[in-house]
Structure 1
Amino acid sequence: MSRTSTPTQLQPPQPPQPPSSSSSSPIQADDDRKLAFQTLTTPRDRADALKLVVDSVAQQRQVASRDVVFNPICVSALVAALAVAHVAMRAMGHDFSAMLITYSGIVLIYLSTIRYAASTYIRIAEETDWHAWLENEDGGEAVVLGARYGTELIAAVVLDLPKQRNARAKSQPKATIRAWTTKIRYRRRGLGGDMLREAVKAAKQARGPSCAVEFAADHVHSSVALYDMFNGPFVSRQAQAVRALASAVKEVEAGESSQH
């Protein structure tokens, strides 16, 4: 399966404008590079896409750490520990410098513990055999889609197209998205939605207009390293992703119906 969309010529820089909630392009142009969406088929291109996926898994550590650091329960525990230390050291007659060292040690232990707990995402990224993960266990097709800005790969989607066991089967064909990521500097610019639309188009072209597209239950960002009380940001992101995919499916199907 090979498919490359017509490259989009990015617009030259425009004079400063008031902030707007929408933009005509997901990337504000500052040079003559082109934005293009394509199916990645060569080993090198697929390896580059996998690197984006691996990086996105590791980057979840920062999200988890930030949420735990400012979690009300954790902050309350930290304040309580500092208060107990303060009372104990005052009772023992320690001076201010000794108290300051103790407070710093407690805060350091607090941050180090959180860092260690959140580092599970780093271990997942480092220890997973990603090339084996990319292989489709049921013999189906793993399609890797990418967005290039000039020669730089800035976004990727891994689409799983299960093998069709019976061409006459009445069941609705289905495709699942196993990974969806964008480089940090290009996020929140609409590129993620474009990638989902490309994935939906690819699925329907490969399996027919009736093909359903959804996120895989074990998609690459489904693993959680912390207790449920600390997973709020990830639950929120998952909900946003589901809404974005539903919107992409709706837009693609609306475009198909308008062509008939």
Structure 2
Amino acid sequence: MSSNVSTPVLGPVAQAASKGSSTTTTTTAKPVTSGEAVSLDDIPPLTLGVLTERADKVDALQLVADSIAQQRQTSSRSMVFHPLNVAGLAAALGIAYKLNPARDLGMMLSVMSGVIMTYLLGIRYFTAQYIPLAEGLKWDWIVPVNDDGEVDPDAEEDTVIGARYGEEMIGALVLRLVPPTPEQGAAAAPAPINSRKKKGSNAASNQYKGGHGVIRAWTTILRYRRRGIGGDLLQEAIKVTRERCGKDADIVFAQAHANSVMVVPEMFNRPFRRMEAWAAQFLEKTLANQESAQQKR
């Protein structure tokens, strides 16, 4: 979902960078008016890569939290125009009309305005839970925990990939690397290492060999959507996953991703389900394109 506020319901299915971050840099051109000279030095760089600085990661998590809050708008729009709700509103307006025997125009407009206002306030009330969900996204969300809910000392923090245009964080993706199961680990066990130093240095790199990547959040700022930034974030996530887990490692969307919680009945969540299905297809397409590109090399 590069672009929606949501990343998908999906179990295995298918940078702004600062100092010290791994980055890829490109530039984009500003609109130019006729006769106006533009210096390339005035165009902010577009940087994409794995974030290593805490401040950059905080900016990326803020972007994810904003995407959760934006779900309220999508959910409200779905409820306002849902046929069942519209039918209920029409019935309420009809009853209000019938209960006004004097047919006084001023009174009728006031009553009907009150009915419509109540309708909108009710929808606002039901969708308000997205705000505390967004506020509840804290730093510890990217820290893996064990089955007891305690921080897992053997696990590393999620990998956060960011896209920054100049100084502004415009895209973020949170990737969790999952080590292989015991059965998979036995099949992909690395050869023994004699050197104690090598053993320590390779332990972390081999921990995820044979595992896979799970995307827990994927979003961009509204005004930068549909410009390829989300696709670039996905490609970087695939690259990181296959560098750490193996060249054939899979990457999937998490079932409990950042935008997976729905606060209204399922019949009003159709826009989110469509976006989840689109995101799954987009990820599959990106994976297929990368595999075909590797085969051509």
Q: Name the TM-score, length of structure 1 as normaliser.
A: 0.86
Structure-2 separation of matches of 1:143 and 1:177: 10
Identity of aligned residues (%): 38
Larger relative contact order (Cα-Cα within 8 Å, sequence gap ≥ 6): 2
Structure 2 counterpart of 1:193, which letter? Answer: G
Q: Please tell me whether the aligned partners of residues 211 and 249 of structure 2 are also in contact (alpha carbons under 8 angstroms).
A: yes
- The alpha-carbon deviation at position 94 of structure 1 amounts to 5.3
Which residue of structure 2 aligns with residue 98 of structure 1?
107
Which residue of structure 2 aligns with residue 170 of structure 1?
187
Which residue of structure 2 aligns with residue 4 of structure 1?
22
Structure 1 counterpart of 2:271, which letter? Answer: P
- The alpha-carbon deviation at position 177 of structure 1 amounts to 0.1
Structure-2 separation of matches of 1:233 and 1:142: 28
CA deviations on 1:157-203 (whole Å, 9 max, x unpaired) are 00001245768433742110000010111012221111111111111
Residue 176 of structure 2 is aligned with which of 160, 163, 167?
A: 160
Structure-2 separation of matches of 1:245 and 1:169: 29
Residue 139 of structure 2 is aligned with which of 117, 131, 140?
A: 131
Structure-1 separation of matches of 2:290 and 2:215: 16
Give structure 1 stretches of 5+ with no counterpart: 17-28
Q: Please tell me whether the aligned partners of residues 141 and 162 of structure 1 are also in contact (alpha carbons under 8 angstroms).
A: no
Structure-2 separation of matches of 1:86 and 1:12: 55
Residue 206 of structure 1 is aligned with which of 235, 244, 250?
A: 244
SS at match of 1:62: helix
Q: Please tell me whether the aligned partners of residues 5 and 38 of structure 1 are also in contact (alpha carbons under 8 angstroms).
A: yes
- The alpha-carbon deviation at position 223 of structure 1 amounts to 0.8
Structure-2 separation of matches of 1:15 and 1:199: 37
Structure 2 counterpart of 1:222, which letter? Answer: S
- The alpha-carbon deviation at position 251 of structure 1 amounts to 1.9
Structure-2 separation of matches of 1:182 and 1:196: 12
Structure 1 counterpart of 2:212, which letter? Answer: K
Pick which of 153-162 and 6-15 moved more.
Answer: 6-15
Structure 2 counterpart of 1:169, which letter? Answer: A
Give structure 2 stretches of 5+ with no counterpart: 1-19, 35-39, 147-154, 189-209
1:237 aligns with 2:275: yes
Residue 262 of structure 2 is aligned with which of 224, 229, 232?
A: 224
Structure-1 separation of matches of 2:120 and 2:186: 55
SS at match of 2:100: helix
Structure-1 separation of matches of 2:114 and 2:31: 50
Which residue of structure 1 aligns with residue 163 of structure 2?
147
Residue 85 of structure 2 is aligned with which of 74, 95, 106?
A: 74
Structure-2 separation of matches of 1:14 and 1:247: 34
Which residue of structure 2 aligns with residue 47 of structure 1?
58
1:120 aligns with 2:129: yes
1:110 aligns with 2:119: yes
